[in-house]
């Protein structure tokens, strides 16, 4: 084991180091594993696996400091935090201060049972978070008055974009126009501009509140977008424009504030087809922009057009109600370039929190909060009038816009001096928003800033400043779950009850290939909820967020160094958005060079479906490149496709190491061929965990990549989000990476940007290539990745890669005699994951990949990735964080399962009555009634002695997928359904 | 089912004068797995040979159905929209998808229309 010059003792062997806590296998365990594979050291193993041509060069000086201890890292994070100032935000614009109920903070946000879980693709062991998500869906569906809501979007801005794209798919209009309300959030308008341009949609911006729809004020359009209430706070009745747009064949998309919807008519009641927005103010801290759960709901008939994940109700093998992800064939992993969206990871943890906020407060509590907010807004409107300002609209919920007569700066400054942040709209106008946290003391202080000289009576009763015809009279949140858990005891137990149903990293290994379910260390999580990181508005002034900006810039520098690129943007909120941002950068580069015809994106057939879906959203045309029988890119086909599309070649998207878990030998030549033809190389960084410290994308040919901080860099999966998908690029693409109209500081992109290379757009377009609603995406979780890199140092990161590759090769060697390992690279080695081929077993015994995956539950494991990238296989990624005991336990389970399959083949058990086909077994299924199966009860639930000690009981048996897809139910079923 | 013709895209066709009834083969239905949804064309719409005209979704994949000939859709099987399992259980009978009318009576003897034997050898049975 060699080490970096920066540390004398290799971190792995120094138990005071964080690396020795992060990496599960110590020196003795690694020795034993290496012996099994036949290598002397981990370093030699990785060097035999990684082609020498791409090996990282030694850097003269590194920006990464030597590893810090956990205590030191927290002290440094504290210094960053101390440079932030948490003033009281009245900025609004889609982000509001909120009170996270402490019972939710402690039992969800800070509870590994929730934050270390994976996306619920194995529904039998995910019933807890599936119920939490169906609560969220029911909440959104009820409040918006629309039939079906999905299980979250990435943020409000991207949800509006998805609404626009949905409208284009579903509309019968021939028009290419999407009408946008001028009173929409500024970040939403920037996102719409960027995304519409890429796919050839024409935006027409109109002040819809003033347009007379009856007199033909609307141009022909496939859709219309209304912000409700308006960005300025104005409440008006959009039902007439909605109806006019729909009569012309358009689809109406309304972005609505969920808290306001407890008081005012729902989008559904106004005729909207689609509602979108954010659930941030339902108990999720602002966090300088994220993460928060966006939402989308649609009317009946549009369910199949929904992007993202959707939870539905089905039944299990015993006929009991059970939850699962439904209508999955809409999604990018199946439909590829024809998917409804490229979104995959969403914001599950935050959606769970928002849904639980509604469970905790109930309909009455939410309404009480909303009434308090709007009465306090009224108080401040009166104070402003009294102070000599003009309130622009007399109809509002929480936001007041003032006309100040060229005095906007002065008012904003005075507010700041009093500790409050207001939003300057322009020289004449200022707006401010009231939220759940605005207190009586705040009202008095703000009234003083506004120049008011007296106090106003507290308001009660119906808020008369909301037009009576706009007041909501319909019910919402009537399901018992929203009306039961009022006491903290009940709430705490409900959260525990749900968490206990699920399998997360706090129970055992989750060996999901391509998902990198490594440790999310407690120290890394520590700073996330510090007020100096959690309590900041994304558009707070630069002076308030210096610590954040410094941390972000340092992290960008580190990520650029380890990937071999020049610049990094942390804005994309998920890998899918990082892909899109990278492809849009390639598109921008080609356009700036006059190469408008370069629109073809080559994607190997082995690629993740998201690649293809993202390419389409970047305005590109997907051409598939074949793979050979070893799982590598077919070089002949690649050269043929490059030749065929020469002048039209925009990019190649390639994953490295490949989705087959192999270090492709020819990657350098592949990149070169694309460059020679004038194309750009996009290296998908999903598998970076197999490369860090040994090779760099930017050195072997990549022009741009996205990384998944929620894979390689320890941000927890949260049960399906949050994610962070930074995009890293070479200098020539830097001008086209995501910027933001409201960013506090020009990013490192601007420094690299040479205006002379571009035709007169030195500051870039107005939208600045934005792909997220907030300038820095989801900053409040960036301290996790910062802490990981800070505590590992470059030597530790390299050790982690070695341990991950060692673990995967150990699994491959140990299981090779029982299940063929499908692909391998140089010297017969795999990278950080291996594919176990079950197809011969299925052919010989009838035992399917599903049977094995579900049987692993009975043995106490989460299944590996099923049927990706090859149907009928399991892809295993142990990661560096698992210790040898756990890895051996998994291997032992797989070998035992193989023996069970052999017993089926030998005729010991019937093909339709054996422990594999019957898996998973619930406690109820082995206790209730007579046991009439061909195999004993003990075999069903305690197949190995080790399981006796630590038994995980799945709450449901195998779930009927077809029943759930054929009988769509996506809201909380009545309690009787579970009797 | 000797009166049926087949395509390499795993559709079957039954011709009756100017009218063709189209469905997917039992092999295709098995490959898709449990079918949960069928999106059929609108009655009265015109279709072009070789273009996607319908989609069949299972729990894990989606199959596209191509129009075998150009013509006008005169009827679709609304029953499979309500009971998509018909396509699995009875692909040649209750699971038919749509009927298309062509300008002239058709004789399905082109190379693109396979006999049962030719289709079976295509799928290796």
Residue A662 pLDDT > 80: yes
DSSP category for residue A755:
G
CA distances, A256 to each of A160, A243, A278 (Å): 11, 17, 8
Beta A621-625 vs A429-433: how paired, if at all? unpaired
Across the interface, whether the CB atoms of A335 and B62 are under 8 A apart is answered yes
Nearest C-alpha in A relative to B57: A329
How many Å apart are CA A128 and CA A28, to the nearest integer?
Answer: 38
In this predicted model, which residue has the larger pLDDT, A329 or A241? A241
Residue with tokens 């109600």: A321
Could you tell me if B59 lies within 8 Å of chain A, comparing CB atoms?
Answer: yes
List, as one string, the DSSP characters of A6-68. T-SS-GGG-TTSSHHHHSS--HHHHHHHHHHHT-S-HHHHHHHHS-GGGBPPPPSS-SSPPPP
A424 backbone φψ class: left, alpha, beta (φ>0; ψ -120 to 50): beta
Hey, which bits of A533-599 come out as E strands?
567-569
**Secondary structure, 3-state, A222-254:** CEEEEEECCCCCECCCCHHHHHHHHHCCCEEEE
DSSP category for residue A959:
B
Nearest C-alpha in B relative to A334: B61
Quick check: helix, strand or coil at residue A90?
A: coil
**Mean pLDDT lowest for which of A859-873, A935-949, B106-120?**
B106-120
Q: What is the pLDDT of residue A16?
A: 77
Q: What is the pLDDT of residue B41?
A: 95
Are A583 and A616 a contacting pair, CB within 8 Å? Answer: no
Q: What is the pLDDT of residue A5?
A: 43
Facing residue for A966 by CB, picked from B36, B61, B62: B36
Across the interface, whether the CB atoms of A304 and B37 are under 8 A apart is answered yes
Are B52 and B65 a contacting pair, CB within 8 Å? Answer: yes
Could you tell me if A304 lies within 8 Å of chain B, comparing CB atoms?
Answer: yes
Residues of A in contact with B60 (CB under 8 A): 328-329, 334, 867, 961
**Mean pLDDT lowest for which of A251-265, A333-347, A406-420, A558-572?**
A333-347
Quick check: helix, strand or coil at residue A406?
A: coil
| Interval A684-692 mean pLDDT | 96
Q: What is the pLDDT of residue B60?
A: 83
Beta B11-16 vs B5-6: how paired, if at all? antiparallel
Quick check: helix, strand or coil at residue A597?
A: coil
What b/e readout covers A546-561, taking b as 16+ CB neighbours within 10 angstroms?
A: bbbbebbebbbebbbb
Q: What share of chain A has pLDDT > 70, as a percent?
A: 96
How many Å apart are CA A337 and CA A50, to the nearest integer?
Answer: 31
Residue A275 pLDDT > 60: yes
Q: What is the pLDDT of residue A754?
A: 42
Residue A385 CA to chain centroid, in angstroms? 43
Q: Which of A965, A968, A969 to mutate to test the interface with B (most CBs of B within 10 A)?
A: A965
| Interval A691-703 mean pLDDT | 96
Residue A758 pLDDT > 60: no
Residue A748 pLDDT > 70: no
Q: What is the pLDDT of residues A195-233, one digit of tens each?
A: 999 999 999 999 999 988 767 789 999 999 999 999 999
Q: What is the pLDDT of residues A598-615, one digit of tens each?
A: 999 999 998 999 999 999
Residue A936 CA to chain centroid, in angstroms? 43
Residues of A in contact with B59 (CB under 8 A): 328-329, 961-962, 965
How many Å apart are CA A89 and CA A190, to the nearest integer?
Answer: 22
Interface subset of B 19-38, CB within 8 angstroms of A: 34-37
Q: What is the pLDDT of residue A757?
A: 39
Q: Is the dihedral of CA A226, A230, A234, A235 positive or negative?
A: positive
**Mean pLDDT lowest for which of A248-262, A458-472, A722-736, A913-927?**
A458-472
Token code pair at residue A451? 């120049």
Are A348 and A719 a contacting pair, CB within 8 Å? Answer: yes
Q: What is the pLDDT of residue A477?
A: 98
Residues of A in contact with B85 (CB under 8 A): 962, 966
How many Å apart are CA A632 and CA B100, to the nearest integer?
Answer: 43
List, as one string, the DSSP characters of A830-876. --S-EEEE-HHHHHHH---HHHHHHHHHHTT----EESSSSTTEEEE
Beta A202-206 vs A177-181: how paired, if at all? parallel
Nearest C-alpha in A relative to B82: A966
Beta A704-706 vs A680-684: how paired, if at all? parallel
Residue A763 pLDDT > 50: no
Q: What is the pLDDT of residues A54-77, one digit of tens each?
A: 999 888 889 999 999 999 999 999
Token code pair at residue B12? 């079957």
* Contacts with A389 (C-beta within 8 Å, 6 or more apart), sequence order: A402, A403, A404, A411, A450, A451
Residues of A in contact with B62 (CB under 8 A): 329, 334-335
Q: What is the pLDDT of residue A764?
A: 52
Across the interface, whether the CB atoms of A962 and B85 are under 8 A apart is answered yes
Are A377 and A434 a contacting pair, CB within 8 Å? Answer: yes
Backbone phi and psi for residue A170, each to the nearest 5 degrees, phi listed first:
-90, -15
User: For residue A232, which of A384, A409, A398 has the smallest C-alpha distance?
Assistant: A398
Across the interface, whether the CB atoms of B57 and A965 are under 8 A apart is answered yes
In this predicted model, which residue has the larger pLDDT, A130 or B113? A130
User: For residue A502, which of A851, A916, A120 has the smallest C-alpha distance?
Assistant: A120
User: For residue A476, which of A361, A376, A377 has the smallest C-alpha distance?
Assistant: A361
- Please report which confidence band the pLDDT of residue A840 belongs to, taking 50, 70 and 90 as the band edges: very high
Rounded (10°) angle between helices A782-815 and A884-905: 40
Across the interface, whether the CB atoms of A334 and B62 are under 8 A apart is answered yes
Q: What is the pLDDT of residues A70-97, one digit of tens each?
A: 999 999 999 999 999 999 999 999 999 9
**Mean pLDDT lowest for which of A177-186, A552-561, B11-20?**
B11-20
Residue A750 pLDDT > 60: no
pTM given for the model: 0.96
Across the interface, whether the CB atoms of A329 and B34 are under 8 A apart is answered no
Facing residue for A961 by CB, picked from B34, B37, B84: B34
List, as one string, the DSSP characters of A91-121. --TT-------HHHIIIIIT-HHHHTPPPSS
Across chain A, mean pLDDT equals 94
Task: Assess whether the previous peptide bond of A722 is cis (omega < 30° from 0).
Answer: yes
Q: What is the pLDDT of residues A544-578, one digit of tens each?
A: 999 999 999 999 999 999 999 999 999 999 999 99
Q: What is the pLDDT of residues A583-592, one digit of tens each?
A: 999 999 999 9
How many Å apart are CA A690 and CA A708, to the nearest integer?
Answer: 13
Residue A752 pLDDT > 50: no
Find the distance separating the first CA and the last CA of chain B, reported in whole Å.
16
User: For residue A875, which of A832, A938, A843 has the smallest C-alpha distance?
Assistant: A832
- ipTM comes to 0.88
Could you tell me if A969 lies within 8 Å of chain B, comparing CB atoms?
Answer: no
A604: which strand partners?
A625
Quick check: helix, strand or coil at residue A323?
A: strand
Q: What is the pLDDT of residue A639?
A: 97
């Amino acid at each position: 084991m060699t080490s970096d010059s920066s540390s004398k003792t290799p971190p792995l062997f120094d138990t005071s180091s964080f690396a020795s806590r992060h990496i599960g296998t110590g020196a003795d365990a690694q020795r034993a594993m290496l012996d099994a594979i036949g290598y002397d050291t981990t370093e030699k193993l990785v060097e035999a696996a990684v082609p020498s041509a791409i090996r990282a060069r030694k850097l003269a000086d590194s920006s990464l400091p030597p590893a810090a201890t956990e205590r030191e890292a927290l002290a440094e994070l504290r210094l960053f935090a101390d440079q932030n100032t948490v003033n009281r935000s009245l900025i609004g614009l889609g982000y509001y201060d909120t009170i996270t109920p402490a019972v939710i903070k402690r039992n969800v946000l800070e509870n590994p049972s929730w934050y270390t879980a994976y996306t619920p693709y194995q529904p039998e062991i995910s019933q807890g978070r599936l119920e939490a998500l169906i609560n969220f869906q029911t909440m959104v569906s009820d409040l918006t008055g629309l039939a079906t809501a999905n299980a979250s979007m990435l943020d409000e801005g991207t949800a509006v974009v998805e609404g626009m794209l949905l409208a284009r798919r579903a509309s019968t209009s021939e028009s290419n126009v999407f009408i946008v309300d001028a009173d929409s959030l500024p970040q939403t308008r920037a996102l719409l501009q960027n995304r519409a341009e890429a796919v050839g949609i024409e935006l027409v911006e109109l002040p819809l509140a003033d347009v007379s729809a009856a007199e033909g004020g609307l141009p022909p359009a496939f859709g219309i977008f209304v912000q409700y209430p308006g960005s300025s706070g104005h409440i008006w009745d959009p039902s007439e424009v909605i109806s006019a747009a729909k009569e012309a064949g358009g689809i109406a998309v309304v972005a609505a504030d969920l808290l306001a919807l407890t008081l005012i008519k729902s989008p559904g009641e106004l005729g909207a087809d689609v509602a979108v927005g954010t659930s941030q103010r339902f108990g999720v801290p602002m966090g300088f922009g994220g993460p928060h759960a966006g939402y989308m709901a649609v009317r009946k008939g549009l369910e199949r057009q929904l992007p993202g994940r959707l939870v539905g109700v089905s039944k299990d093998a015993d006929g009991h109600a059970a939850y699962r992800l439904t209508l999955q064939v809409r999604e990018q992993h199946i439909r590829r370039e024809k998917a409804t969206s490229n979104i995959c990871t969403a914001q599950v943890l935050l959606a769970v929190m928002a849904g639980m906020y509604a469970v905790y407060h109930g309909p009455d509590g939410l309404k009480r909060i909303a009434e308090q907010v709007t009465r306090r807004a009224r108080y401040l409107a009166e104070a402003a009038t009294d102070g000599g300002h003009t309130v622009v609209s007399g109809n509002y919920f929480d936001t007041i816009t003032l006309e100040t007569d060229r005095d906007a700066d002065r008012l904003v400054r005075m507010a700041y001096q009093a500790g409050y942040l207001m939003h300057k709209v322009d020289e004449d106008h200022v707006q401010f928003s009231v939220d759940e946290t605005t207190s009586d003391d705040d009202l008095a202080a703000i009234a003083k800033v506004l120049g008011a000289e007296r106090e106003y009576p507290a308001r009660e009763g119906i808020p008369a400043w909301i037009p009576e015809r706009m007041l909501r009279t319909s019910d919402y949140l009537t399901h018992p779950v929203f009306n039961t858990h009022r006491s903290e005891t009940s709430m705490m137990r409900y959260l525990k009850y749900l968490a206990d149903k699920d399998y997360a990293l706090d129970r055992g290994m989750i060996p999901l290939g391509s998902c990198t379910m490594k440790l999310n260390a407690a120290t890394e999580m520590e700073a996330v909820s510090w007020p100096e990181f959690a309590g900041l508005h994304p558009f707070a002034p630069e002076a308030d967020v210096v610590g954040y900006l410094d941390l972000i810039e340092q992290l960008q520098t580190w990520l650029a160094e380890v990937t071999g690129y020049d610049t990094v943007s942390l804005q994309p909120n998920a890998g899918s958005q990082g892909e899109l941002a990278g492809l849009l950068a390639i598109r921008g580069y080609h356009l700036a060079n006059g190469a408008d015809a370069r629109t073809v994106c080559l994607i190997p057939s082995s690629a993740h479906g998201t690649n293809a879906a993202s390419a389409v959203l970047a305005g590109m045309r997907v051409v598939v490149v074949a793979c050979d029988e070893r799982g590598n890119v077919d070089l002949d086909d690649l050269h043929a496709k490059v030749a065929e599309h020469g002048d039209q070649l925009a990019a190649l998207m390639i994953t490295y190491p490949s989705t087959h878990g192999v270090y492709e030998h020819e990657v350098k030549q592949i990149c070169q061929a694309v460059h020679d033809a004038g194309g750009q190389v996009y290296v998908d960084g999903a598998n970076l965990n197999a490369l860090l410290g040994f090779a760099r994308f930017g050195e072997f040919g990549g022009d741009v990549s996205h990384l998944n901080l929620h894979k390689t860099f320890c941000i927890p999966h949260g049960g399906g989000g949050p994610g962070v998908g930074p995009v890293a690029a070479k200098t020539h693409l830097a001008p086209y990476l995501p910027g933001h109209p409201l960013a506090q500081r020009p990013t490192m992109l601007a420094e690299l940007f040479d205006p002379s290379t571009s035709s007169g757009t030195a500051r870039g377009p107005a939208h600045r290539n934005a792909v997220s609603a907030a300038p820095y995406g989801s900053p409040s979780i960036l301290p996790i990745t910062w802490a990981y890199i800070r505590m590992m140092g470059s030597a530790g990161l390299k050790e982690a890669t070695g341990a991950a590759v060692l673990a995967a090769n150990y699994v491959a060697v140990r299981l090779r005699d029982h299940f063929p390992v499908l692909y391998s690279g140089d010297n017969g080695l795999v990278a950080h994951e291996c594919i176990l081929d079950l197809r011969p077993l299925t052919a010989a015994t009838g035992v399917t990949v599903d049977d094995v995956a579900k049987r692993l539950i009975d043995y106490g494991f989460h299944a590996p990735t099923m049927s990706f990238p090859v149907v009928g296989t399991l892809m295993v990624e142990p990661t560096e964080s698992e210790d040898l005991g756990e890895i051996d336990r998994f291997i032992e389970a797989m070998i035992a399962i193989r023996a069970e399959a052999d017993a089926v083949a030998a005729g010991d058990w019937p093909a339709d009555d054996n422990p594999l086909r019957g898996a998973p077994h619930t406690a109820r299924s082995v206790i209730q009634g007579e046991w009439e199966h061909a195999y004993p009860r003990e075999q069903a639930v305690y197949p190995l002695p080790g399981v006796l000690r630590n038994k995980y009981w799945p709450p449901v048996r195998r779930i009927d997928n077809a029943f759930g897809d054929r009988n769509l139910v996506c809201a909380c079923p009545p309690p009787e359904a579970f009797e | 089912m000797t009166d049926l013709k087949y395509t390499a895209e795993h559709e079957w066709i039954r011709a009756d004068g100017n009218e063709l009834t189209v469905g997917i083969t039992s092999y295709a239905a098995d490959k898709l797995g449990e079918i949960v949804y069928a999106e059929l064309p609108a009655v009265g719409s015109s279709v072009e040979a070789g273009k996607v005209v319908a989609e069949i979704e299972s729990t894990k994949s989606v199959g596209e159905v191509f129009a075998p000939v150009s013509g006008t859709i005169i009827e679709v099987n609304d029953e499979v929209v309500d009971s998509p399992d018909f396509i699995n259980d009875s692909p040649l009978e209750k699971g038919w998808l749509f009927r298309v009318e062509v300008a002239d009576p058709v004789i399905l003897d082109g190379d693109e229309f396979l006999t049962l034997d030719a289709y079976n050898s295509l799928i290796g049975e």
